[in-house]
Structure 1
Amino acid sequence: MEALLSQTKPASTLPLSKRLKLATHTAHKRVDKAIMALSPFTSLDDYKRFLKVQYQFQRHTAPLYKRPDLCEQLERLEQRCRFNSVMLDINDLSIKTEELNVSPIPPPTIGSQAAALGWLYVNEGSNLGAAFLLKYASQLGLSAHFGARHLAPNNAGRGLHWRLFIAQLDAISLSEEQERQAIKGARDAFTFVESLALNSH
């Protein structure tokens, strides 16, 4: 197992979450544009394309939520994983397994613990922004209990759920190199989702 992240002085006076936000602003905008280009709420078929993108991303990130080193740094991390919710949505909409097993884009390697933090930042942030997606999904007859479970808020509410994650993330002290790895991880995550959306069929 990789050694715990170093406890050296942070590379920046800004919290890690702010550094990640600034460093991924452009990539985040590209992802938003690519997702909306799918017109995921125009029809159920279009929503299924969107759900397949979510499946590929959540499947790739799911192992991070069980890693002991990350769970030691981020309390109750395993409970945050949304892959099971995506699978329930897929079953609700009767999407065939063979449609899911072929990814149009090979997932990037998550090469370090610091990089994994960047991926988790992107995934957790996507849940924060899912409120309006769930609202649009309701127009297709979907809900937090059928077909759009992965877009549902945590029981604590989206805002508090996110703030708790950010507080823990920002409490982790990274070296300058580890911060670069975290930023690269976040950018890789956004690029992966964008590529999945652009190549969705």
Structure 2
Amino acid sequence: MTVQTSLEDSRSVRLKAATRDSHGALDKRIMAGDIFADRSNFARFLRVQYRFHRSIDALYASPALDALLPDLAERRRLQQVRSDLQDLEQALPGEDIIALGNDLPLPTALGWLYVAEGSNLGGTVLYKMAAALGLDRDFGARHLAAHPDGAARHWRGFTAALDAVVLSPAQEQEVIDAADAAFRSVHGHVEVEFS
């Protein structure tokens, strides 16, 4: 017997609902940093992005994850963030960044990747705002630029693969806990860079 899962019951929709508070708090904190006031503030935001993407970079090199999430390796954005920082003549954040291994339990890795890929979708809004600072896909804001196929289509491809992974109820909770931890981790990076 095949059980059909409706869009409303999908893992990605449940994740969005379960992490609404931590995601909302992070968005408010980032915007409170007035990241589009000038390039200096935007550079702080880039350092936050670098810290986060440096911490999860190994996940994009995991063969096991790549088998479940097509095109995972090409979704990697660490080098783009690094180039954006270099465009603005910024030093890379220090070696205090704790990197996750590519051997995380599957549910934990999925939760962190959900946050990373969701930030890519949300980045398209920030990309338009970065234009006021003279930043674009060729200088300073390349990591925010939409995928050539379109941000929404790229996101739907990721969530379809994410939703298709078979997990137990306990593992479902682990995915939620990991996504919440990822949002809190980024919030911590914001506090480091904007304090």
Whether TM-score is above 0.5 comes out as yes
CA distance in 1, matches of 2:166, 2:98: 31
Q: Which residue of 1 aligns with 2:94?
A: 101
Q: Which residue of 2 aligns with 1:89?
A: 84
What is the Cα deviation at residue 180 of structure 1? 1.3
The Cα offsets for residues 97-129 of structure 1, whole Å up to 9 and x where unpaired, read as: 4xx1154x7567884111110111111011111
Secondary structure of 1:40's counterpart equals coil
CA distance in 1, matches of 2:88, 2:53: 17
Whether 1:78 aligns to 2:73 is: yes
What is the Cα deviation at residue 132 of structure 1? 1.9
Return the structure number with greater relative CO, CA threshold 8 A, min gap 6: 1
Secondary structure of 1:154's counterpart equals coil
Contact 1:112-1:181 at 8 Å conserved across structures: no
Identify if the C-alpha distance between structure 1 residues 79 and 106 changes in structure 2 by more than 3 Å, giving closer, same or farther: closer
Q: Which residue of 2 aligns with 1:39?
A: 34
> Which blocks of at least 5 consecutive residues in structure 2 are unaligned?
none
1:154-169 matches, within 5 Å, as: 154-169=147-162
Query: Match of 1:55, as an amino acid?
Result: Y
CA distance in 1, matches of 2:138, 2:100: 32
Give the TM-score normalised by structure 2.
0.90
What is the Cα deviation at residue 136 of structure 1? 1.3
Secondary structure of 1:200's counterpart equals helix
Match of 2:174 among 177, 181, 200: 181
Secondary structure of 1:143's counterpart equals coil
CA distance in 2, matches of 1:107, 1:79: 19
Q: Which residue of 2 aligns with 1:191?
A: 184
Contact 1:115-1:185 at 8 Å conserved across structures: yes
User: Which aligned segments of 4 or more residues in structure 1 are displaced greater than 3 angstroms?
Assistant: 105-111
What is the Cα deviation at residue 198 of structure 1? 2.2
Match of 2:56 among 55, 61, 66: 61
Query: Match of 1:84, as an amino acid?
Result: Q
Give the TM-score normalised by structure 1.
0.87
Q: CA RMSD in A?
A: 1.9
Query: Match of 1:61, as an amino acid?
Result: I
Contact 2:121-2:151 at 8 Å conserved across structures: yes
Whether 1:138 aligns to 2:131 is: yes
CA distance in 2, matches of 1:145, 1:38: 24
Task: Give identity over the alignment, percent.
Answer: 42
Contact 2:54-2:99 at 8 Å conserved across structures: no
